[in-house]
Amino acid sequence: MKIKPMLGSFALEGIEYIESSESRALVEHRVPGLAGNYFQDMGTVPNAIVIAGTKHGDEARDTFLNGIREIFNKGEPTTFVADINTATDITEVIIEDLEVVEVSGSPDSFRYLIKLRKYVKPPEPPATNLLNAGILEDAMNLVDTAMNAIDALSSIPNFGDPTQPLRQALDGIKAATTGLDTIVTDLRNLFGP
């Protein structure tokens, strides 16, 4: 039984060519001493489906272009059914490219090329409760400690001239030895030069 190609609720008519392309993402690794290279399979690449066709008449052109551009401009995944999808797991696609061409010599017709890609739903974001709340609390405490240390550095007193206390001590010694000059002079006079 032939399935009528549909993109959502929009019928794709005038199809002349349809192609489905499937591939795997292989990463080639060179290994010293190994005869040949090692290939790592990174999984499948989303299927690509190319549809080419022709439409005739102004009304058919306007209806087709308005319908397909509405789906294209939404940029949202939509369902796609066709015989070429038999035995595949394609349920939703997104329009990757849309090309429309009018050909000279055939003013009443136009050609279209639509490239679809299999839509793969992105994974759910990781749960935010995986982070231990204690780690965040420890980090905040560390930041508080660092900020307190910086505040303490800003409150260090100005030491000014550190020799001032020494001068005061020397003044006391000077006061205590004030009478020694006369005593030394008297001793020299007594014992001689």
Domains within the chain, CATH numbers bracketed: 6-118 (2.40.30.200), 131-191 (no CATH)
The mean per-residue pLDDT over the stretch 152-162 comes to: 67
| Structure tokens that stand for 139 in this block | 């980090």
The mean per-residue pLDDT over the stretch 57-66 comes to: 87
pLDDT at 52: 92
pLDDT at 98: 93
pLDDT at 85: 64
Flag whether pLDDT at 1 surpasses 60: no
Instruction: Tell me how crowded residue 154 is: count the other CB atoms within 10 A of its CB.
Output: 6
User: Is-contact 90 118, C-beta < 8 A?
Assistant: yes
Helices (H), 41-110: 58-74
Round to the nearest angstrom and report the end-to-end CA distance of the chain: 141
Residue that wins the pLDDT comparison between 40 and 185: 40
Residue that wins the pLDDT comparison between 24 and 82: 24
pLDDT digits (tens, 9 = 90+) for 111-121: 999 999 988 88
> Residue 155's pLDDT band (boundaries 50, 70, 90)?
low
pLDDT at 115: 94
pLDDT at 10: 84
Q: Which long-range contacts (CB under 8 A, 24 or more apart) does 87-93 make?
A: 88/20, 88/22, 88/47, 90/47, 90/49, 90/118, 92/118, 92/119, 93/7, 93/49, 93/117, 93/118, 93/119
φ, ψ dihedrals at 92, nearest 5° = -130, 145
Beta bridge partners of 17: 52
What does the chain come to in residues?
A: 193
pLDDT digits (tens, 9 = 90+) for 85-134: 666 677 889 999 999 998 877 778 889 999 999 888 888 887 766 666 67
pLDDT at 116: 92
Average per-residue pLDDT in the chain? 81
pLDDT at 193: 64
The mean per-residue pLDDT over the stretch 56-83 comes to: 88
